[in-house]
Structures are given as C-alpha cells and as structure tokens.
A and B are shown apart, each in its own frame.
Chain A
Amino acid sequence: MPSVAMTVNGKAVSGEVETRTLLVHFLRENLRLTGTHVGCDTSQCGACVVHVNGKAVKSCTMLAVQAEGAQVTTVEGLTQDGKLHPVQAAFKEHHGLQCGFCTPGMIMTAVDMIRRIPDLDEKTIRAELEGNLCRCTGYQNIVKAIEAASKEMKGARA
C-alpha cells in the first residue's frame, strides 16, 4: 500500500492508504478527525469541505494521495487554545445550526470566503454557499452568522 504524508492542522502526519482512499476517509478513519463529514456520494453537499493549501475543497472528491505534502486544515484545526474561531462563535451566537451535520463544511466554506472576499454582502454569501447543502436551517441563520463573523473579523484586522 502506498504511504502518504501531509500536514494536518499544523501537525505532520502520515499513513498507509489505498490509492483509492479519499482524503475524507484518511482524515476520518486514519486520523480519527471525525469533524469532517460525508453527506452525499455526488460531490454536491459540501459537508466534507476542508482547506488544502489554503483553499476550500471537497475532501470526498480528492484522493488522499493527491494531498501528499499538502497543508490541510479541518474544522478541528480552527479552534485555538480552546477558544472558538470567530466563525464558529458566530454560528453558535446566531443559531446557524440545528442538527449540525452540515456545519463543519459550512464553517470551512465560510472561513474560506471571508478570507477571499473583503466585503461580503448577503447576496455574495448565498452565491458562495452554492456547494453546501443544509437540510435543517433554511440557510437564513447560516447567512446571518457568516455576515456577522465577516464584520467581526474585518474589525479585528483593522
């Protein structure tokens, strides 16, 4: 079996995988980082979104071997010193989740869009959430949470 090595949430990790092992399964099964979810079989729901080299990608649509040498961040990597990331805190504050299944992917997508787009309005947030499905919330509070986090993080940078 091929072995693969990468950096996940700042730590060097490696493991034996099959060539067909998806990145999401490497994260969940080899590394036991079960925050990243699998919600569909069709690359559509976004529950599996993680960052690879700083960009949001669907970890169910990437082979683990393709991530050789990459910097990967999962939802577990957002919390620093036991303190929630501003996007996580905003989801809590604005009730951006119900069952929570879509939440890790939503949060990783939100962090990515906030990093890329300085002035996020509601319309842009909704367009950026194209690849993330939520069966519970109706999106309203997810959008609110992202808008609030974006403002707060911008304030913190200024």
Chain B
Amino acid sequence: MYQFQYFRPKSLDEARKLYENNGDAKFLAGGQTLIPTLKQRLAQPTALIDLGGIAMSGIKVAGGVVTIGAGTKHFDVASSADVKGAIPALSHLASHIGDPAVRHMGTLGGSIANNDPAADYPAAVLGLGATIKTTSRTISADDFFTGMFETALEEGEIITEVSFPVPEKAAYMKFPNPASRYAMVGVFVAKTKGGVRVAVTGAASSVFRESAMEAALTKSFTPDAVAGIKVSPGNMNSDLHGTAEYRAHLVTVMAKRAVATIA
C-alpha cells in the first residue's frame, strides 16, 4: 500500500471540506473493496476520508418505502426484521454478499458507489427503482449506474441514503462465482406499482435492465414467460469464469428461477 493521510470527520460538511482541501482524496466506508484495491496498489489516493465516524446508518420503513443509510452494513440489512418483512428479496440479497466478515464491514453506500459489474446491491437498487440521496441531490436508479465502476456521482459527492419502494413482490437469484461469491450472473425481478422491472448484474460491464423480459412478464408473470427469451451475448462479459454465451444463457435461467419463487 502507498502512504496516505487519514482523516475521520464527524460530519458530512467536514468530510466534504476535507475532500476539497486534499488533492487526490478518497472516501473510505467499510473498506472491503477499497483496502484490497490499495493493497494491490491499484489506487494511490493521497488521503483517505473515513466516513465511519459520521452517523449514516440505520433502517426505516414508512409509507411503503424502506430507507437505508449509506453506512449500513450488509449484515445489518440481512438481519433486519423490518427489511425481511417489507422486501424479503433485499434481505436475501444482502445475506449472500461475500462472507460474514465482509458483511460485518461492507456498506450499502460503498457497494453502489463502487458499482462493480459483479456486485449484488446494484441489481436491487435498479430492480426496485430505488432513489439514491446524496449530499447534493437525489438520483434515480435508472440514472445512477453509468458504466463499469462508473456512477453519476460527482467529485466529492457522498451517498447518504437509499430509498427502496416496497414492491408487490420481488426475488433475487444469483449464480455465484464459486470462488469469490460475486455474481457470475444475478437477476433481480420485481413487480412494482410502476410495472415489472428486471435488473441483471454480473453479466455485462454494468448492471442493466432486461426490457424484453419486463415486457414478457408484464403480459404473464410466470417462469414460462421468460424461459423462451434468448439474451444476446453481444454485450456480455467473457473471462476465465465463463464465456459471453454462457452468461447470456445464465441470465435466462436465473430470471426463470427468480420468477418461479414468487409467481
């Protein structure tokens, strides 16, 4: 790891000021992505601004919306009776991120700010049509994830909470990479007030909505409705874990299985 300065501000204002006054600073949340990255010397920030001292965690359910603070650990989402009651698919998803030690540290805000192509949370955020609140605005899920490890966040902008509208029903099915447990392919299917949403992670450079499946499930919310849909391997990832064709096939299989659990 390269050397850096370390700050632990007590407020968002202080955090933003530190960011402005330090050339190449980075925010640190649970560190479960950032610290491995620093260990590999894949990043060289001059300063780390630890968000851990700022009160940004907690779960509220009110008015058909589950609001989760950006600093809330995966473990706390996975074990919250409120989340389980309102959106069981979200609690299931959180309980399958990495391993218990990772879940004790990793946070919702860190996961979506990072937007790893194989991360789980982006599928729920996009699949449920969540809203991301930051230090300067609110961003809809459809506008938030812009590319591989890319989001709509601007320099120094901090995610403070994410609001998930409670769907009629929803399910997440992931085919985990057997070594890392990240998603080879993960499909989040939700029947919401605004229609059916299908979000796919792991398969391409960034999470995306599968519109052909959304249309088919709108007509008939059954596993058979998606079983026949062939996803084009054109934009899929191809690596030592699987070819683009394999991933494209997995999207259909995972979608079918997700729908089967709630149809």
Answer yes or no: are A and B bound together in one complex. yes
Contacts A19-B4, A61-B32; A109 near B100 (Cβ below 8 A) = yes
- The interface residues of chain A lying within 8 Å CB-to-CB of B2 are 20
Contacts A20-B1, A41-B40, A130-B181; A66 near B101 (Cβ below 8 A) = no
> Does B56 lie at the interface of the complex (its beta carbon under 8 Å from any beta carbon of A)?
no
- The interface residues of chain A lying within 8 Å CB-to-CB of B39 are 41, 60
> Does B21 lie at the interface of the complex (its beta carbon under 8 Å from any beta carbon of A)?
no
- The interface residues of chain A lying within 8 Å CB-to-CB of B52 are 66
Distance A55 CA – B104 CA, assembled complex (angstroms): 7
Q: Do residues B5 and A56 form an inter-chain contact, with CB atoms below 8 A?
A: no
Q: Do residues B31 and A66 form an inter-chain contact, with CB atoms below 8 A?
A: yes
Total count of chain A residues near the partner, CB < 8 A: 29
Distance A136 CA – B28 CA, assembled complex (angstroms): 35
> Does A128 lie at the interface of the complex (its beta carbon under 8 Å from any beta carbon of B)?
yes
Q: Do residues B3 and A20 form an inter-chain contact, with CB atoms below 8 A?
A: yes
Distance A132 CA – B102 CA, assembled complex (angstroms): 11
> Does B168 lie at the interface of the complex (its beta carbon under 8 Å from any beta carbon of A)?
no
Interface size on B, as a range, is: 20 to 34
If over half of A's interface residues share one DSSP class (helix, strand or loop), that class is named, otherwise mixed; here it is mixed
Q: What sequence of 0s and 1s flags, for each residue 39-64 of chain A, a beta carbon within 8 Å of any chain B beta carbon? A: 00111101001000001111011110
- The interface residues of chain B lying within 8 Å CB-to-CB of A20 are 1-4, 38
Q: What sequence of 0s and 1s flags, for each residue 128-167 of chain B, a beta carbon within 8 Å of any chain A beta carbon? A: 0000000000000000000000000000000000000000
CB distance from B231 to the nearest CB of A (A): 29
- The interface residues of chain A lying within 8 Å CB-to-CB of B38 are 20
CB distance from A71 to the nearest CB of B (A): 14
- The interface residues of chain A lying within 8 Å CB-to-CB of B48 are 19, 63
Q: Do residues B3 and A43 form an inter-chain contact, with CB atoms below 8 A?
A: no
Q: Do residues A49 and B101 form an inter-chain contact, with CB atoms below 8 A?
A: yes
What are 20 A-B residue pairs whose CB atoms fall within 8 Å in the complex? A19-B4, A19-B6, A43-B102, A44-B179, A44-B180, A55-B104, A56-B100, A57-B101, A57-B104, A61-B32, A62-B31, A63-B48, A65-B50, A66-B31, A66-B52, A113-B100, A128-B100, A131-B98, A131-B99, A131-B102
Query: Could you tell me which A residues sit within 8 Å of B by CB distance?
Result: 2, 18-20, 22, 41-44, 46, 49, 55-58, 60-63, 65-66, 68, 109, 112-113, 128, 130-132
Given contacts A19-B3, A43-B102, A131-B102, 16 further A-B contacts (CB under 8 A): A2-B6, A41-B39, A42-B36, A43-B32, A46-B99, A55-B104, A56-B100, A56-B101, A57-B104, A62-B31, A63-B48, A68-B8, A113-B100, A131-B98, A131-B100, A131-B101
